[in-house]
């Protein structure tokens, strides 16, 4: 098991007796990942692993599946009946009074709400207090190794180069009077990903005018849209090195096809830029002062800037998401809108900061996305330079 010592240190710091990881037929991918169990090896019967704050993990596995588990946990405790299961849980818990499980009070953080209510009731019936494992999940899954941080830096630098190449490509085609479309630009970006030896789970967003007011718009060849002089353009691109442990980069930039952006677009851009920069400044001030900072608080700061400018109703998603080996990781999100993420920003995690204002009735939307990494007492922006002006193409 990776990071056992770090997990146990986190358990002790939170005053928890241990972490009870429960799995049944893929319902809890967190348990599989933390313990390094491939989904194909999980079996057809429920199992549990208790990681105590000190000592070796203890396993409970159905008797008919012990053979398949011997190479992973040769000393697993077997059970057969439902009564055995209950008593087996009591045994591996070893008198623990307070344990973590994948629960979230009020489903505030659905990303870690993975254990069914009945199983939680069963554990509580054994006289055990059940707490959320949300911050433990960060320690186990969201903290980057030095090698992963290096891979993230490679991805970010490559994405910034793809972004530059993309805007140059659009600029050249418009100047030459050549047909330029959302899907065509997206295909160009995919070729650039290949040239930089990057992989992505989904082709990038290329959104012109009103499409930029749809945060999750994706081009379609069968309903393609041209990009013309005088148009506003948003691109959102994410990718990583082609390794299973590599970390994604994820950026969003905006451009205008003309010599000067219209005043309304420029004004909205300035509000979004201020919201982005205020979020980073808030995190830095807290961390420099040795104070904790929580995901929901950062969202409040960015959202407050946008609301004060009169656009609160047009910022319809969280300020940022965790980044990991998937584009959206399992660490803290900067969110007090879609969810209330009360997880703390801990050293070694990365995430996006991407406030936006979406005005479909005005035919455009602005989002600016950067990536950040938490060091011991600071936040590093890993996607420099920042976009401080609308790119003119």
Per-residue confidence band for 40, with pLDDT thresholds at 50, 70 and 90: confident
**Cα gap 88→332, rounded to integer Å:** 33
pLDDT digits (tens, 9 = 90+) for 234-291: 999 999 999 999 999 999 999 999 999 999 999 999 999 999 999 999 999 999 999 9
Q: Compute the distance between CA of residue 141 and CA of residue 114 in angstroms, rounded to an integer.
A: 15
- The half-sphere exposure of 98 on its side-chain side, counting CA atoms within 13 A, is 8
Residue 21's H or E segment, with its range, is strand 18-23
Find the DSSP H helices in 289-325.
Answer: 295-308
- At residue 38 the predicted structure's pLDDT band, cuts being 50, 70 and 90, is confident
Does pLDDT of 331 surpass 80? Answer: yes
pTM score, whole prediction: 0.92
Residue in the block written with tokens 């400018």: 309
Gyration radius (Cα) of the chain, Å:
24
Who has greater pLDDT, 71 or 229? 229
- Alpha-carbon distance of 30 to 333, in angstroms, equals 17
Residues 151/199, Cβ–Cβ less than 8 Å:
no
DSSP label at residue 188: H
Any idea of the CA torsion for 91, 95, 101, 103, to the nearest 10 degrees? 120
Among 62-66, 160-164, 186-190, 229-233, the minimum mean pLDDT is found in 62-66
Dihedral angle computed from the Cα positions of residues 266, 262, 176 and 167, in that order, rounded to the nearest 10 degrees: 10
Mean pLDDT of 197-210: 96
CA dist., res. 141 & res. 148, Å (int): 12
Find, among 50, 40, 25, the residue nearest to 116 by Cα.
Answer: 25
Q: How many CB atoms lie within 10 A of CB 352?
A: 26
**pLDDT band per the 50, 70, 90 thresholds, residue 177:** very high
pLDDT of 188 above 90 = yes
CA torsion through residues 23, 25, 29, 32, sign: positive
Q: Which of 313, 309, 299 is nearest to 360 (CA)?
A: 313
The edge-to-edge listing of strands for the beta sheet with 98-101 is 77-79, 58-62, 47-52, 18-23, 98-101, 129-132
Q: Which single residue is written with the structure tokens 């193409």?
A: 393
Rounded-to-integer distance, Cα 132 and Cα 252, Å:
33
Is 1's pLDDT higher than 90? Answer: no
Strands 98-101 and 18-23, by their bridges, are parallel
On the question of pLDDT at 327 being above 90, the answer is no
Domains of the chain: 4-141 (3.40.350.10), 143-392 (3.90.230.10)
Helix (H) / strand (E) element for 374: namely strand 370-374
């Amino acid at each position: 098991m990776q990071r056992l010592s770090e997990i146990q240190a986190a358990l002790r710091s939170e005053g928890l007796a241990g972490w009870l990881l429960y799995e049944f037929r893929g319902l809890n991918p967190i348990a599989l990942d933390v313990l390094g169990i491939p989904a194909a090896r999980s079996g057809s019967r429920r199992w549990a692993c208790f990681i105590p704050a000190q000592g070796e993990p203890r396993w409970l596995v159905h008797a008919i599946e012990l053979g398949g588990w011997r190479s992973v946990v040769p000393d697993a405790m077997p059970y057969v009946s439902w009564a055995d299961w209950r008593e087996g849980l009591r045994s591996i818990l070893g008198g623990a009074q307070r344990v973590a499980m994948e629960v979230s009070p009020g489903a505030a953080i659905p990303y870690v709400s993975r254990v069914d209510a009945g199983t939680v009731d069963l554990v509580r019936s054994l006289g055990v207090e059940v707490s959320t494992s949300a911050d433990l999940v960060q320690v186990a899954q969201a903290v980057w190794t030095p090698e992963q941080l290096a891979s993230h830096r490679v991805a970010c630098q490559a994405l910034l180069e793809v972004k530059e190449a993309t805007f140059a490509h659009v600029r050249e085609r418009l100047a030459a009077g050549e047909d330029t479309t959302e899907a065509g630009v997206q295909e160009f970006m995919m070729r650039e990903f290949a040239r930089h030896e990057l992989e992505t789970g989904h082709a990038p967003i290329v959104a012109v005018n009103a499409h930029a007011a749809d945060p999750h718009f994706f081009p379609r060849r069968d309903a393609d849209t041209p990009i013309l002089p005088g148009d506003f353009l948003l691109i959102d691109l994410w990718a990583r090195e082609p390794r299973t442990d590599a970390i994604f980069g994820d950026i969003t930039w905006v451009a205008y096809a003309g010599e000067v952006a219209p005043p309304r677009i420029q004004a909205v851009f300035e509000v979004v830029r201020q919201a982005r920069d205020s979020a980073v400044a808030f995190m830095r001030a807290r961390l420099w002062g040795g104070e904790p900072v929580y995901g929901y608080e950062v969202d409040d700061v960015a959202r407050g800037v946008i609301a004060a400018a009169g656009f609160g109703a047009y910022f319809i998603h969280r300020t940022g998401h965790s980044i990991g080996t998937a584009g959206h990781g399992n660490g803290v999100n900067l969110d007090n809108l879609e969810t209330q993420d009360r997880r703390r920003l801990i050293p070694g995690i990365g995430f996006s900061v991407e406030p936006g204002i979406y005005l479909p009735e005005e035919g455009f939307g602005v989002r600016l996305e950067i990536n950040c990494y938490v060091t011991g007492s600071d936040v590093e922006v890993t996607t420099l330079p920042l976009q401080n002006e609308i790119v003119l193409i």
